[in-house]
Structure 1
Amino acid sequence: MLSLTKPLAPLRHRNYRLLFASYLISMLGDGVWMVALPWVAIELGADNSGLSMVVGAEAVGLISCVLIGGALADRYPRKHVIGWSFAAAFAALATLAVIHVSGQLEIWQLVGAAFVLGAAAAISGPAADAFTPDLVPEDDLHAANALESIVRSLAVRMVGPGIGGLLIALVDSFAIIALNAVSFAVAALCAAAINSRTVAGAQGSGGDGEAEPEGEPVPYRQALRYLFGERWLWVLIVWSGVVLLLQSGPRQVLLPFLIHNDLGGDARDYGLLIAVTGIAAVVSSFLLASRKPPRDYPRRMLLAWTAGAAPLALMVFAPSFWLLLPLGAVYGFFSTAGNVYWSTLVQTSVPSSVRGRVISIDWLGSLALVPVSAALAGIGSSREFMIWLFVLGGTLPVLLTLVTLRWVDLRGLGAKGAQQPETQQTPEHSEPVVPA
């Protein structure tokens, strides 16, 4: 049954409200910065290669630091990891603003700041995802993930870019840099205000339980042993990485050319398609947040991802731009549903002691293959080559899903909760051991 109040249930818990506020503020800043960054670089005289360096530096920061972020999230208090990463982003942007005022701002300084922002996102992201189950009871966890998905869609795809475009027209680049710096400072303060002494565990009461357990961190080799000992976990991470390899290049590189060259569209049409995709993602997240997840949601998750991937095969044959819009809506709706289910599954099925590293490995599997997919999409420019990439990107995920459903048993996942690793004594030393 649909409930209009269920999506807001996680906000009953003070600690989660603070984490959510930091997430919302930083996402809005990211949305503004995504639009403003190219214009700041252009104001500094950047050409195509210079702009590529600036944008690429953020991606390098993400990819190079995401595993570090997972390790930090499992070793240190997660609110500190999140807060200090936001503080580092604030410091980078504040320094950039000071240099801008002095009139000495150069491209290489913008590249450095972009790298720091990417690194900060790589560290705060896995920590925040791993921290959420410690702040809300399991009954509210699904709604929390859906609520965060709504914020991401609105802030990064709609509101943030809209504010960024408006600010570019009204104020100079210094004000935009300073505003983004302030957003990270406020987000860091929100994270710092979380009361660690009342953080509940994954099965806790949403902020009214005992503090996070403190103990010797599980070594990375044992976290990997756990990961590869759980077939469902590593298979689904590989599945999502392969699908991104097949789909991200056609969506990000070839789709604009399809709209421009074959359908006679322009940038406004492409922006409309992105907006429709974002609206569908918001609707999907709201519907999921309004009801409890079904018992077989791990299976539905895989089917939702597949349903979101399949429309790509049809986009290349669309006779008009307007037929792309429902295909984009299907992609936004079902891919978002799969992502929400996946976040809930990992948070409820992976032990807290290794959750940050598992999430960071999942992030790496997603991030590392996106540049490869873009490079593959740029190899050829013929219509036939484009058709092959779109068709393979939409049909191979369906075949992968059929194989995965036969090879991996998803029954019972997500309902049992994460079991904490036991402590095993050895003659030489004592350390937590994650069971394979």
Structure 2
Amino acid sequence: MNRQRGGVFTDLGTRWNVPRMLRPLLRRNYRFLFVTLLCALIADGMWMIAMVWQVIRMGGSPTSVSVVSGGAAAGLLVSTLAGGVLADRLPQQRILFVLEIANAITIGGVGVLVLTDAVTVPMMLVVTFALGLVSGFYFPAYSALVPRLVSPGELLAVNGYESAVRPAASMAAGPAIAGALIALHSPGLALVVAGCLPVLGAVSVSRIRLEPDGAVADGADGLEPGHPLRELWEGVQYVRRTPWLLATLLFASIQVLVVVGPLDVLLPFAIKDHAGGGPSDHSMILAAYGFGGVAGALLMASRKLPRRYLTVMMCLWGVGALPLAVYGTATNVLVMVAAGFVLGVVFEAPVVIWGTLLQRRVPRRLLGRVSSLDFFVSLVFMPLSLALAGPVSHAIGLTATFVLAAVLPIPLAAIAILAARMPRDELEHPLPEDDAPVSPTVNAPPGERTVG
């Protein structure tokens, strides 16, 4: 039997017993998609740093930086729901290709304008808003495409190491590369280089080869697309009729409202007032949280999906905020660092389960819309949480605010579990592990398959 290019990696992976977490990377199509994601994340991290320093270079104030940065959130809020509808209407591969080209033109173009001193702060705001719009279309399409490229049993691993790679690429690698290029020349050079990465991403996603009937199976039901608002309403109705999904989204909404504000707004004051720390200590605590998140994601990715997947997910989220009580009471920075690591582990591990459940239990024809609704809920409640954190702390005290944020998710998680009858639901809908080896022909394009 003569094995050609498409089956080499999968065949070797089967023989060498590749770890569970890495098995999806044996699939040719998913490798190309992963490269696309990596390029997008690094470019995003480079943009974030280069944008800030370009605004400062033009004499912008902290308020200017805040306004320009907020443009991305505004763009996301506007486009996320529409992105979900589009992801369920059109081939996701085509959507990602177009968006990568749009990112390349936008980021690279503003880089050229920076190098020629032709850019202004309002122009940077418009570009940031445009990039936010693109992101709102990007992630629903990406989330809907992944289940077509790997087996159901590999989705937990995919969500696990993607959860680990996202912060590493967008918050570490991208900013580091941008910082080096800014030090070498200017923010303009960093932006031009960042604009080249989406080109590589577009080339990579164009190399994905799907079976002809895959698009039909994923696109729905064979019916002509209806009005976008009607299709969006169909997604909302599906969530409303699905108890485990509705209960989890409602819980997540309140959790975002309760937790994000204390973490982002009040933590610096706890460090300064309770532990006598400063900016470097704040950075250490956030880094510990990030490392904990990576550890939690990789730990979950290396294991099988729990049999009681809904209960495990909700219990982890319920008790996961308890380290916030340490932030509100500790007088030692190292204790806060340890709490940050634990917080990262228990927050990120259930996120991996959640992403896997969406991709395994939500019908493919609705996955883009449901993913966008999940994203939209977080976007809506995050600014409200940030706005309320200060007044609540002023009213009941810093320590009480952190303790409240730490314990409130526990009864909320219990209510969600019981109201949606999650223990019964997960037993009635088991998600068996798919341990079958990856076929050497899976995801191989025509002409690259195993031949006898």
Rounded to whole Å, the distance in 1 between the matches of 2:278 and 2:55 is 23
CA positional deviation for 1:118: 1.1
Q: Does 1:233 align with 2:245?
A: yes
Structure 1 residues 207-252: Cα deviation after superposition (integer angstroms, max 9, x where no partner): xxx8745623473332222111111111111110110111111111
CA positional deviation for 1:180: 1.4
SS in 1 for 2:307: coil
Q: CA RMSD in A?
A: 2.1
Residue equivalent to 1:43:
57
Letter aligned with residue 238 of structure 2: Y
Larger mean Cα displacement after TM superposition, 395-404 or 274-283: 274-283
Query: Could you tell me whether the CA contact under 8 Å between 1:10 and 1:136 is conserved in 2?
Result: yes
Calculate percent identity across the aligned residue pairs.
32
Residue equivalent to 1:94:
108
CA positional deviation for 1:171: 2.7
* Structure-2-length-normalised TM-score: 0.85
Q: Does 1:145 align with 2:159?
A: yes
SS in 2 for 1:333: helix
CA positional deviation for 1:196: 3.0
Rounded to whole Å, the distance in 2 between the matches of 1:126 and 1:338 is 20
CA positional deviation for 1:397: 0.4
Rounded to whole Å, the distance in 2 between the matches of 1:242 and 1:339 is 16
Residue equivalent to 1:186:
200
Rounded to whole Å, the distance in 1 between the matches of 2:191 and 2:390 is 32
Q: Does 1:169 align with 2:183?
A: yes
Residue equivalent to 2:325:
313
Residue equivalent to 2:430:
415
Alpha carbons of structure 1 residues 405 and 108: separation in structure 2 relative to 1, 3 Å: same
Q: Does 1:389 align with 2:404?
A: no
Q: Does 1:280 align with 2:295?
A: no
Alignment match of 2:46 (pick from 32, 38, 45): 32
Rounded to whole Å, the distance in 1 between the matches of 2:395 and 2:177 is 37
Query: Could you tell me whether the CA contact under 8 Å between 1:196 and 1:211 is conserved in 2?
Result: no
SS in 2 for 1:196: coil
Rounded to whole Å, the distance in 1 between the matches of 2:64 and 2:384 is 21
Rounded to whole Å, the distance in 2 between the matches of 1:260 and 1:41 is 29
Larger mean Cα displacement after TM superposition, 252-261 or 224-233: 252-261
Rounded to whole Å, the distance in 1 between the matches of 2:105 and 2:168 is 26
Alpha carbons of structure 1 residues 198 and 161: separation in structure 2 relative to 1, 3 Å: farther
Q: How does 1:52-63 map to 2 (within 5 A)?
A: 52-63=66-77
**Higher-helix-fraction structure:** 2
Query: Could you tell me whether the CA contact under 8 Å between 1:231 and 1:408 is conserved in 2?
Result: yes
CA positional deviation for 1:4: 6.7
Rounded to whole Å, the distance in 2 between the matches of 1:358 and 1:28 is 26
Rounded to whole Å, the distance in 1 between the matches of 2:180 and 2:390 is 32
CA positional deviation for 1:329: 0.9
Rounded to whole Å, the distance in 2 between the matches of 1:383 and 1:264 is 23
Letter aligned with residue 236 of structure 1: T
Query: Could you tell me whether the CA contact under 8 Å between 2:161 and 2:301 is conserved in 1?
Result: yes
Letter aligned with residue 246 of structure 1: V
SS in 2 for 1:415: coil
SS in 2 for 1:316: helix
Q: How does 1:203-282 map to 2 (within 5 A)?
A: 212-213=218-219, 215-216=222-223, 217=225, 219-282=231-294
Residue equivalent to 2:170:
156
Rounded to whole Å, the distance in 2 between the matches of 1:63 and 1:95 is 24
CA positional deviation for 1:200: 5.3
Alignment match of 2:386 (pick from 350, 355, 374): 374
Rounded to whole Å, the distance in 2 between the matches of 1:211 and 1:376 is 45
Rounded to whole Å, the distance in 2 between the matches of 1:183 and 1:10 is 23
Letter aligned with residue 72 of structure 1: L
Structure 1 residues 152-205: Cα deviation after superposition (integer angstroms, max 9, x where no partner): 13213333333333333333111111121111221122222211336858xxxx
Letter aligned with residue 46 of structure 1: G
SS in 1 for 2:211: helix
Rounded to whole Å, the distance in 2 between the matches of 1:147 and 1:287 is 9
Structure 1 residues 70-118: Cα deviation after superposition (integer angstroms, max 9, x where no partner): 0110010011112222222222112212222321110011101111111
Residue equivalent to 1:327:
339
Query: Could you tell me whether the CA contact under 8 Å between 2:81 and 2:232 is conserved in 1?
Result: no
Rounded to whole Å, the distance in 2 between the matches of 1:212 and 1:236 is 25
Query: Could you tell me whether the CA contact under 8 Å between 1:134 and 1:199 is conserved in 2?
Result: no
Q: Does 1:72 align with 2:75?
A: no
Residue equivalent to 1:207:
none
Alpha carbons of structure 1 residues 4 and 158: separation in structure 2 relative to 1, 3 Å: farther
Residue equivalent to 1:300:
312
Rounded to whole Å, the distance in 2 between the matches of 1:84 and 1:262 is 50
Letter aligned with residue 292 of structure 1: K
Alpha carbons of structure 1 residues 61 and 348: separation in structure 2 relative to 1, 3 Å: same
Rounded to whole Å, the distance in 1 between the matches of 2:176 and 2:213 is 36
Rounded to whole Å, the distance in 1 between the matches of 2:392 and 2:232 is 41
> 1 or 2 for the larger relative contact order (CA 8 Å, sep ≥6)?
2
SS in 2 for 1:55: helix
In the alignment, structure 1 segments of 5+ residues that lack a partner are 202-209, 418-436
Structure 1 residues 307-343: Cα deviation after superposition (integer angstroms, max 9, x where no partner): 3222112211011111111111111101111100000
Query: Could you tell me whether the CA contact under 8 Å between 1:4 and 1:290 is conserved in 2?
Result: no
**Paired residue total:** 407
Instruction: Name segments (4+ residues, structure 1) moved above 4 Å.
Output: 198-201, 210-214, 380-384
Rounded to whole Å, the distance in 2 between the matches of 1:228 and 1:196 is 32
Query: Could you tell me whether the CA contact under 8 Å between 1:196 and 1:212 is conserved in 2?
Result: no
